[in-house]
Amino acid sequence: MGGAARIVLLGPPGAGKGTQAQYLAARVGVPAISTGEMLRAAVAAGSELGRRVDGVMASGRLVDDALMAEVVRERVTQPDAGRGYLLDGYPRTLPQAETLSGILEDAGQALDAVLLIDVPEDELVRRALLRKREDDKEEVIRERLRVYREKTEPLIGYYRERGLLREIDGDCPVEEVTSRMYAALGVEGGV
């Protein structure tokens, strides 16, 4: 991929978005921006943002769209995102997709691609239980999956209609998923 690249990673919790974001961002030469990581860092630091989102995250629900809009607008306008970025975990609702579209439009930019990583539900739960993150208790994982189906899945149609969606079967080893993502983006190179 030459020049700037603005890419969204979409997929259910545990699909491997964070894992793949690291490889892909390094390959494409843009920062990986994970809203989940940013919020967890805020909670760990005990900042005002962290205090506002802690309980919501622990329950598996979503932080409200207006607050996320502030967080994301601030982050994608940092100098290191000038040549683009890989968004992991944003947008996750239709209003968030509209916010992102507005941010891009204000900057005279556009998305290049939305990569959907799909993995069966049993495998998602298996992976999350192995990881043991604070919000990886089985009932919270199930709630995050329920919220994904209700709030985030509609983005698949939203981005398909706009001709941006590329679907990747993520139910295979990490390196294989990475290769499939490179192929979907038309970028060359080994894993």
The position carrying tokens 């205090």 is 51
Taking the complex as a whole, the smallest distance from the CB of residue 167 to ligand AP5 amounts, in Å, to: 15
User: Site residues for ligand AP5, window 27-46 (CB under 6 A)?
Assistant: 35-36, 39
What are the angstrom distances between the C-alpha of 3 and each of 29, 99, 125, 147, 158? 10, 24, 37, 35, 26
User: Does the annotation count 17 as an active-site position?
Assistant: yes
User: Does the annotation count 142 as an active-site position?
Assistant: no
Q: Where are the beta strands (DSSP E) in 108-156?
A: 113-118
| Sheet of strand 84-88: strand arrangement | 32-34, 84-88, 5-10, 113-118, 165-169
> Which residue stretch of 24-32, 75-83, 128-136, 155-163 sits at the interface with ligand AP5 (rule: CB under 6 A)?
128-136
Taking the complex as a whole, the smallest distance from the CB of residue 131 to ligand AP5 amounts, in Å, to: 4
User: Does the annotation count 144 as an active-site position?
Assistant: yes
Phi and psi at 115, nearest 5°, equal -100, 120
User: Does the annotation count 131 as an active-site position?
Assistant: yes
Q: Which is nearer to ligand AP5, 35 or 165 (CB)?
A: 35
DSSP-derived secondary structure letter, 119: -
User: Does the annotation count 6 as an active-site position?
Assistant: no
- Quote the CA–CA distance of 34 and 119 in Å, as a whole number: 19
Give the x-and-dash track for 52-91 against ligand AP5 (CB under 6 A): ----xx--x-xx----x--------------------xx-
17, 27, 166, 180: the active-site residue: 17
The DSSP bridge partners found for residue 6 are 85
> Which residue stretch of 42-50, 77-85, 102-110, 171-179 sits at the interface with ligand AP5 (rule: CB under 6 A)?
171-179
Report the phi/psi class of residue 91: left, alpha or beta, with left for phi > 0 and alpha for psi in -120 to 50: beta
> Which residue stretch of 10-18, 42-50, 105-113, 159-167 sits at the interface with ligand AP5 (rule: CB under 6 A)?
10-18
6, 27, 40, 144: the active-site residue: 144
What are the angstrom distances between the C-alpha of 102 and each of 107, 117, 142, 185? 9, 25, 32, 24
3-state secondary structure of 78: coil
* Catalytic residue ranges: 17, 92, 131, 133, 144
Interacting residues with ligand AP5 (CB under 6 A)? 11, 13-19, 35-36, 39, 56-57, 60, 62-63, 68, 89-90, 92, 96, 127-128, 130-131, 144, 170, 173-174, 177
